[in-house]
């Protein structure tokens, strides 16, 4: 999947004219690509379309008018667009009260390294990859962040099996263990990304 360039990002006036329809498209896409892992962790599988929406909304909110400002956003978000054979996830630890934040964020240190993808009947387990820059910025020894970015890199054989067999996303942290099978609609959307049809 190709990365975004300046040419992909509409200026503010042009974006306002397309925003309503584009927002509806992305909401529908994220509904397919969102997966709940237990009571407090949700992941969204990202692609070029979801990242374009993120940048457009940032530019709109911050009233970014210069190419330099947009280029900065592109540098931040392009790494989250999966390359062929990759899956890119934003992980949300969904805590709504100060009490929950104080309880869970210290307990969940290191959770970003505890995601696995189990593929096929033999449950071939693929460990996630955490970007080193992200890890150094968002995780400290005593507390974790509520948002993380991880990815999976699959071999050609694993991609083939992922396309046709059951796949399960697993979080296996000492204090938080949950798993969820990826539905057929979600898997089809992810496979379409690899074929260049997913955004």
* pLDDT for residue 196: 46
pLDDT above 50: residue 16: yes
Q: Is residue 199 part of a domain?
A: no
Reported confidence tier of residue 197, pLDDT bands at 50, 70, 90: very low
Task: Give the other-Cβ count within 10 Å of 46's Cβ.
Answer: 23
* pLDDT for residue 42: 98
Q: Is residue 137 part of a domain?
A: yes
Q: Are 136 and 181 in contact (CB under 8 A)?
A: no
The pLDDT tens digits for 146-193 are 999 999 999 999 999 999 999 999 999 999 999 999 999 999 999 999
Q: Is residue 188 part of a domain?
A: yes
Q: Is residue 63 part of a domain?
A: yes
Helices 12-33 and 184-194: crossing angle in degrees, nearest 10, is 130
Q: Is residue 123 part of a domain?
A: yes
Q: Is residue 147 part of a domain?
A: yes
> What is the number of structural domains in the chain?
1
Query: Higher model confidence: residue 36 or residue 197?
Result: 36
Reported confidence tier of residue 137, pLDDT bands at 50, 70, 90: low
The pLDDT tens digits for 62-109 are 999 999 999 999 999 999 999 999 999 999 999 999 999 999 999 999
* pLDDT for residue 134: 63
Q: Residue range 29-56: average pLDDT?
A: 97
Q: What single DSSP character describes residue 165?
A: S
Task: Give percent of the chain above pLDDT 70.
Answer: 93
Q: Are 143 and 192 in contact (CB under 8 A)?
A: no
Q: Is residue 1 part of a domain?
A: no
Q: Residue range 134-143: average pLDDT?
A: 69
CB neighbour list of residue 187: distance below 8 Å, 6 or more residues apart: 162, 163, 167
* pLDDT for residue 198: 41
- In sequence order, the β-bridge partners of residue 180 are 169
Average pLDDT, the chain: 92
Q: Which domain holds residue 163?
A: 6-194
* pLDDT for residue 61: 96
């Amino acid at each position: 999947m190709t990365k975004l360039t300046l040419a992909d990002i509409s200026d503010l006036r042009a974006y306002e004219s397309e925003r309503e329809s584009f927002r509806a498209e992305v909401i529908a896409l994220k509904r397919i690509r969102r997966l709940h892992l237990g009571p407090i962790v949700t992941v969204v599988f990202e692609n070029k379309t979801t990242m374009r929406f993120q940048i457009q909304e940032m530019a709109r909110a911050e009233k970014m008018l210069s190419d330099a400002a947009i280029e900065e956003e592109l540098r931040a978000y392009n790494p989250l667009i999966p390359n062929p054979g990759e899956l890119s996830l934003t992980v949300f630890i969904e805590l709504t009260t100060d009490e929950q934040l104080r309880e869970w964020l210290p307990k969940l240190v290191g959770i970003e390294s505890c995601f696995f993808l189990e593929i096929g009947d033999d449950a071939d387990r693929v460990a996630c990859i955490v970007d080193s820059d992200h890890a150094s910025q968002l995780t400290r020894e005593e507390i974790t962040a509520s948002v993380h970015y991880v990815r999976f890199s699959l071999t050609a054989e694993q991609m083939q099996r992922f396309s046709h067999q059951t796949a399960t996303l697993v979080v296996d942290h000492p204090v938080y263990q949950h798993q969820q099978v990826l539905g057929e609609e979600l898997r089809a959307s992810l496979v379409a990304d690899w074929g260049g049809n997913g955004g």
